[in-house]
Amino acid sequence: MSHEETINKLAATWQSISNLGQTLTEEQWKTFTQLPRWTVQDNLSHLVAFEANFQGIPPPQHVATEKSHIKNELGSSNEDDVDVRRSLSGAQVLAEWNELTALRLEALRTANADYFAQEVMTPAGPGTMADFLHLRVLDCWTHEQDMRRALVLPGHQSGPSAEHTIDRLTRTLPIVIGKRAQTPEGQCVIIRITGHVTRLIALPVIDGRAQIRNEEPASSLCDISMNSDVFLQLATGRAEYEELSSDITVSGDASHATRVLTQFSMMI
């Protein structure tokens, strides 16, 4: 993927978030999402903080007082960035977002090759700035969907950013199928993603490891089908299988499918 393609996906997602934000009332900004204690506004504050950091803007010196829901050091830092903006209105956070993303796009579109090649630590481990930006598409689009889902205002569920995110998440399926679910040697699990983004992923276990195949096998241990938003919620830990089971279709070995679906979260 070229740097330009990645930047275009970020630009489209950022604009979609801005367009959504312009329609919201203060009550809607304060609506809680699936992320513990985070409102629609908090999701945007989180994105603002990350992009401000990339732009070289020093973070506010602030420590949130309530962190009982936090699971790790990264979550603690994220909560500080979100909490410092809770005294603002949604419109104020949106204004900061619009100003900041304009600066970020200008910086990205004028950056040279050295910028994208610089080594950084990404959420997936050591990588380059290009790798990090690739993950930023996933993060920004996922939080946009968090906001929209909470408000029951669906949108931007298809297109390059959506496909990019779903494809990034499917990379982790071999760990779910092989290591976590302990699918037996020689057996295959099929994951069918339907709706706005469609994918067929066959995961046979060969030499102890699950591998990704895009061709439908002659037989499988179990066959699991869900739409792309349900897949996103499970893969990002927004909801548990029990909450979404009515939106998931299973054939074959139901007990093994349950083992897969209850260990589906792929994000930190």
35-57 per-position pLDDT tens digit = 999 999 999 999 999 999 889 98
For the segment 99-140, what is each residue's pLDDT rounded down to a tens digit?
Answer: 999 999 999 999 999 999 999 888 888 999 999 999 999 999
Predicted confidence (pLDDT) per residue in 131-167, tens digit: 999 999 999 999 999 999 999 999 999 999 999 999 9
**Domains of the chain, residue spans:** 3-152, 167-261
Q: In CATH, what class is 167-261?
A: alpha beta
Tell me how far the alpha carbon of residue 37 is from its chain's centroid: 18
Better-predicted residue by pLDDT, 212 or 57: 212
pLDDT reported for residue 268: 47
Q: CB-side exposure of 34: number of CA atoms within 13 Å?
A: 20
* Pairing of β 119-122 and β 125-128: antiparallel
Residue 207 has pLDDT above 90, yes or no: yes
CATH code assigned to 3-152: 1.20.120.450
Write out the chain in H/E/C secondary structure: CCHHHHHHHHHHHHHHHHHHHCCCCHHHHCCECCCCCCEHHHHHHHHHHHHHHHCCCCCCCCCCCCCCCCCCHHHHHHHHHHHCCCCCCHHHHHHHHHHHHHHHHHHHHHCCHHHHHCEEEECCEEEEHHHHHHHHHHHHHHHHHHHHHHHCCCCCCCCHHHHHHHHHHHCCHHHHHHHHCCCCCCCEEEEEEECCCCEEEEEEEECCEECCECCCCCCCCEEEEEEHHHHHHHHCCCCCHHHHHHHCEEEECHHHHHHHHCCCCCCC
Among candidate residues 9, 3, 246, the one with its CA nearest the CA of residue 144: 9
Condensed to tens digits (0 to 9), the pLDDT of residues 47-93 reads: 999 999 889 988 777 665 665 675 665 546 677 789 889 999 999 99
